[in-house]
Chains A and B, each alone.
Chain A
Amino acid sequence: QQQVKQSPQSLIVQKGGISIINCAYENTAFDYFPWYQQFPGKGPALLIAIRPDVSEKKEGRFTISFNKSAKQFSLHIMDSQPGDSATYFCAASEYGGSQGNLIFGKGTKLSVKP
């Protein structure tokens, strides 16, 4: 019940295309869903996050879509660029919950081809 399932494991997109990464969760107590972006040799950086009281959040080219009834959320990267090539982790936690309950998906390695 603590798992966050992420797909696909890897993704290749042409420059200018749309990258879509999907995640699903089981624990209905989760109420905070961040996405982290990680470049090789660097730590994960918070990219965008959503709480389940909204169905969509957009920041620049990055959009989170959230479907509470299906317990699914996804990251869309519009006009994908080679600089977006990185590993993306979805995660879930309880916003005001105890430390240590941030559950990561297994990650998606995105490659954007020029």
Chain B
Amino acid sequence: DTEVTQTPKHLVMGMTNKKSLKCEQHMGHRAMYWYKQKAKKPPELMFVYSYEKLSINESVPSRFSPECPNSSLLNLHLHALQPEDSALYLCASSQVTPRVLFFGSGTQLSVL
């Protein structure tokens, strides 16, 4: 199984809502990532977990809160988002080294 599964595929939320994005992989990868991608732009790194511990936080606002419950699951909790946070949110996984990234299909988020 070489798949990274993300749910939901689409999400519309208001600025006062709390929602969560979920990501799952069964490739035995011990590094997992959240990326944000705006239209016509490359993915931008948000967070990296290595062995279930947060290893990189690219100065992301606190309204985004990642969580790694176990080696197969990665969540991104969303609260009080702004319209400019509307984007495609991508999860990826890799071996710790070498870092060949496998991406999920993403969650298309719209903040109203």
Binding site for B on A (CB under 8 A): 32, 34, 36, 41-46, 49, 87, 89, 93, 95-97, 99-100, 102, 104-107, 109
A89 touches B97 (CB 8 A): no
Return 6 A-B CB contacts under 8 Å, by A number: A42-B106, A43-B4, A44-B43, A95-B98, A99-B31, A100-B45
Q: Which residues of B contact A (CB under 8 A)?
A: 4, 6, 31, 33, 40-43, 45, 48, 50, 55-56, 58, 88, 90, 92, 94, 96-106, 108
Closest to B10 in A: A41
| Total contacts A-B at CB 8 Å | 64
The residue on A at minimum CB distance from B107 is A43
Given contacts A99-B50, A100-B45, contact A43 B104 (CB under 8 A): yes
- Inter-subunit contact A99/B42 (CB<8 Å): no
* Nearest B residue to A107, CB-CB: B42
> B102–A46 contact, CB under 8 A?
yes
Give the complex CA separation of A97 and B99 in angstroms: 8
A102→B69 CA distance, assembly (Å)? 25
Residues of A within 8 A of B106 (CB): 41-43
Choose from B4, B55, B98 the contact partner of A96 (Cβ within 8 Å): B98
Across-interface contacts of A104 in B (CB, < 8 A):
42-43
